Structure 1
Amino acid sequence: MTTRLDALKRHSLVVADTGDLDAIRRYQPQDATTNPSLLLKAFDLPGYQELIDTELAAVKREGGDAQHQVDHAVERLAVMKGSEITKLVPGRVSTEVAAKLSFNTDASIRKAHELIELYDKRGIGRERVLIKLASTWEGIRAAEQLEKEGINCNLTLLFSDAQAQACFDAGVFLISPFVGRVTDWYKKETGKDYAPDEDPGVVFVRGVCERAGRGGYDTVVMGASFRTTGQVLALAGCHRLTISPALLEELAAEEGDVDKRVDFPAAGERPTPIDESTFRWEHNQDAMANDKLAEGIRRFADDQVQLEQRIAERLTQL
């Protein structure tokens, strides 16, 4: 009998929402990711200590003031981890631009160029990398420019129809509309539990898929931030699904078929591209999206600060 995970892979490309190399080997996803949270965990794993010291020693040799060394070390460690991941997946690794740059288009573009250059020095072409940016207006504008340069992007922290439409208009390679965080907000507001087909996060992502199909956009839609396997299976047929190791393990342990639950309708007439004032107004009118985008940026930034502190401490020991 086929496992649910194998059956799911017939409908959607599965991406590992982790930088855990053992988990990636075990579940054989198409793509994987790295971010400050995962790099922070690596500082406590014995298998990464030599790699970390090697990268930090190289940063130390290059010189510069303390903050420059820390900033450069974050980039080098992200690319080091991403490079290890590319050895294990056939597709791409998403590598994140710092959350503190989410409202600075030019700085986001510069940081993306630096990351791509570091990958290039390791012999990894840009076709194996997705630059991960928050779905702010400024992040979307950065992605639009990067896409024109042949640098593909993954727009994350996506919670509203306005964000999705702006990404489609910008020709973004991939978007990551969130499921679990959307549902978390509605459960807190209403006190209700939701069946998969009524789950607000599931309903939101299905709507994004419908919008993508009707507009005939090439953007890949990747459902993200899952809390349960029920949410995952309810989005079978979405282009890609990025799933945590815990949920991958549940799906791999359960036998059974998986029905396709998401279809992309035939293309019709595209809507007029959304402008900045309309984007900001429509996103602002969605209380959930407004709350969760701001919260998500703050949480990512907090992890970045902790990572920088660990790096600064380690650099003083070299």
Structure 2
Amino acid sequence: MSKNLLEQLREMTVVVADTGDIQAIEKFTPRDATTNPSLITAAAQMPEYQEIVDQTLLQAKKDAGAGATQAQIVSLAFDRLAVSFGLKILQIIPGRVSTEVDARLSYDTEATITKARELIAQYAAAGIGKERILIKIATTWEGIRAAEVLEKEGIHCNLTLLFGLHQAIACAEAGITLISPFVGRILDWYKKETGRDSYPSAEDPGVLSVTQIYNYYKKFGYKTEVMGASFRNVGEITELAGSDLLTISPALLAELQATIGELPRKLDPSKAAAMSMEKLHIDKATFDKMHAEDRMASEKLDEGIKGFTKALETLEQLLADRLAVLSKTPVSA
């Protein structure tokens, strides 16, 4: 009997679940899982995860002390909630979970380093070693520099909101563990820019971008792993079969699982090694120049940071509202 596409994909690529929905992770049993502010905010509003939110808030209230304001308690709980979801996810998966630094720190190297160390310390206090955590940081120049410092401390990083080759090369030169180029968001930009409704999967601008990055890394022997992310359709995924990792939403995982057919390998390190291409060095001046010239990358990075910031603000309000309810409700012993 023929295998489904998901089974075949797993034979050449590490499949990662792109969700904060723990039940979906249990269903698809990925090796790794990724979360982001939008996903955590969405999960925190699901009734089945109310207990995680409530426990995190109540513990934050206890730890903050009797004189703490609502804002102080919410801030403490907010910092801990992504870790609370991460800990639940790590009980299910054998590999790593990606937990994101506050997007509002994306242009502050020192603050990003401090927040990453705090996240790792929270996991350590729960008995989780740093080898099971990837700290997600936006791929700004400041974020890359923060990740470079963290990697030297043994804190592994996942550079997210990545849209251009200049970002990818800078990450590789900094010794970053993993990057997450956003396939679907690149497609979104090009569809809006050109007025086209769709692209054939093999011509999808997001697919072409990740293929270029993968081939560059393999050609020049970089150890940084490529994990395609933000998919809009199954065709984007099948065109990137062979990538080091792919992080996929539950809906698309289900579609892959339900589809029977042959899945040829599209990305191959041996083929990349034989390609002819120029090796670049990305210093800050080159990064800034290439970023300014790449309107898609600059617009989508800015948009992504603003979007994650909005999700975080929504989450903070959600926590404040829930804390107000819990504060009026007697807590049983």
Selected match of 1:125 from 111, 123, 129: 129
Q: What pairs up with 1:58-137 in 2 under 5 angstroms?
A: 58-63=59-64, 64-137=68-141
Q: Following the alignment from structure 1 to structure 2, what is the Cα–Cα distance between the partners of residues 87 and 270?
A: 44
| Counterpart in the other structure of 1:22 | 23
Q: Helix, strand or coil for the counterpart of 1:194? A: coil
Summarize deviations over 1:45-87 as a string: whole Å, max 9, x none.
2222222222111111122444433222112111110001011
Matches within 5 A, 1:214-253: 214-253=219-258
Deviation at 1:269, TM superposition (A): 9.9
Is 1:266 the counterpart of 2:267? The answer is: no
Q: In structure 1, what is the equivalent of residue 286 of structure 2?
A: 278
Identity of aligned residues (%): 52
Deviates more, 1:61-70 or 1:109-118: 61-70
Q: 1:314: which partner in 2?
A: 322
Alpha carbons of 1:206 and 1:126: their partners in 2 closer, same or farther (altered >3 Å)? same
Corresponding letter in the other structure for 1:78? A
Alignment partner, residue 331 of structure 2: none
Matches of 1:4 and 1:298, distance apart in 2: 35
Q: CA deviation at 1:152?
A: 0.1
Runs of 4+ that moved beyond 3 A: 64-68, 267-273
Counterpart in the other structure of 1:154: 158
Contact 1:143 / 1:153 at 8 angstroms: preserved in 2?
A: yes
- Runs of at least 5 residues in structure 1 that lack an aligned partner in the other structure: none
Give the length in aligned residue pairs: 318
Change (3 A) 1:217 1:270: farther
1:235-286 CA distance string (max 9 Å, x none): 0011001111111111000112210001222399994531111101101101
**Residue number in structure 1 paired with 2:195:** 191
SS in 2 for 1:237: coil
Give the Cα–Cα distance (whole angstroms) in 2 for the partners of residues 51 and 207 of structure 1.
41
RMSD: 1.6
Q: TM-score when scaled to structure 2? A: 0.92
Partner of 1:5: 6
TM-score, scaled to structure 1: 0.96
Q: Confirm or deny: 8 A CA contact 2:20 2:43 kept in the other structure.
A: no
Query: 2:268 is aligned with what amino acid?
Result: D
**Residues 235 and 262 of structure 1 are in contact (CA less than 8 Å); yes or no, is this contact kept in structure 2?**
yes
3-state secondary structure, aligned to 2:273: coil
